[in-house]
Chain A
Amino acid sequence: GENVEQHPSTLSVQEGDSAVIKCTYSDSASNYFPWYKQELGKGPQLIIDIRSNVGEKKDQRIAVTLNKTAKHFSLHITETQPEDSAVYFCAASIWGDDKIIFGKGTRLHILP
Chain B
Amino acid sequence: EAGVVQSPRYKIIEKKQPVAFWCNPISGHNTLYWYLQNLGQGPELLIRYENEEAVDDSQLPKDRFSAERLKGVDSTLKIQPAELGDSAVYLCASSQQGRNTEAFFGQGTRLTVV
Contacts and interface: CB of A to CB of B under 8 A. Distances in A.
B is a partner of A: yes
Interface of A: 4, 6, 32, 34, 36, 41-46, 49, 89, 91, 93-105
B48 A98 contact: yes
Nearest to A6: B42
Interface of B: 4, 31, 33, 40-45, 48, 50, 56, 91, 93, 95, 97-98, 100-108
Nearest to B43: A102
A95 B100 contact: yes
Contact of A44 (B48, B56, B95, B105): B105
B93 A43 contact: yes
A46 B43 CA distance: 13
B43 A99 contact: no
A70 B82 CA distance: 42
A98 B31 contact: yes
A93 B93 CA distance: 15
Contact of A98 (B40, B42, B43, B98): B98
B105 A45 contact: yes
17 contacts: A34-B102, A41-B107, A42-B107, A44-B43, A44-B91, A46-B102, A91-B42, A93-B100, A96-B100, A98-B31, A98-B50, A98-B98, A99-B45, A100-B45, A100-B103, A105-B41, A105-B42
